[in-house]
Structure 1
Amino acid sequence: MHKKNILVEIYHEFFYCITWPKWNDLQYQTMIVFFFSIFLSIFLYGIDIFFIFLIKKFFSL
């Protein structure tokens, strides 16, 4: 296989065969990821504080 054929196939695949998401779908999915990340970070922070509290209670006897 020649390098030129590979480059032409890559170009064709990239511009004609890939379906890109619509702008509204992309914004919606980005907001879902953003809010889920914020929620997960707050949730994990709460669990961390809880375990720190338990460790302090058990080892400060």
Structure 2
Amino acid sequence: MKRENFFLEIYDELFYCMTWPKWVDLQITTLIVSFFSMFLSIFLYGVDGFFIFFIKKLFSL
């Protein structure tokens, strides 16, 4: 396989055969992923704080 043919096929595949999401769909999906990432990080921070508090109380008896 020739190198030029390989890169030409990659270019054709990327720009003519694949379907890309619309800009609005991409923005909405990005916002949803960002929101759930922040929510999950805050939730796990709270769970971690609860377990630290629980273990400190358990071992301080």
TM-score by length of structure 1 reads 0.92
Unaligned runs of 5+ in 1: none
Q: Secondary structure at the match of 1:4?
A: helix
Unaligned runs of 5+ in 2: none
TM-score by length of structure 2 reads 0.92
Which 4+ runs in 1 deviate beyond 6 A? none
* 1:1-61 paired onto structure 2 within 5 Å: 1-61=1-61
What's the % identity of the aligned pairs?
Answer: 69
Number of matched pairs: 61
Q: CA deviation at 1:48?
A: 0.5
Distance of 1:18 and 1:47 partners within structure 2: 42
Render the CA deviation track for 1:3-41: whole Å, top value 9, x for unaligned: 121111111011111211101100100010011011101
CA RMSD of aligned residues (A): 0.8
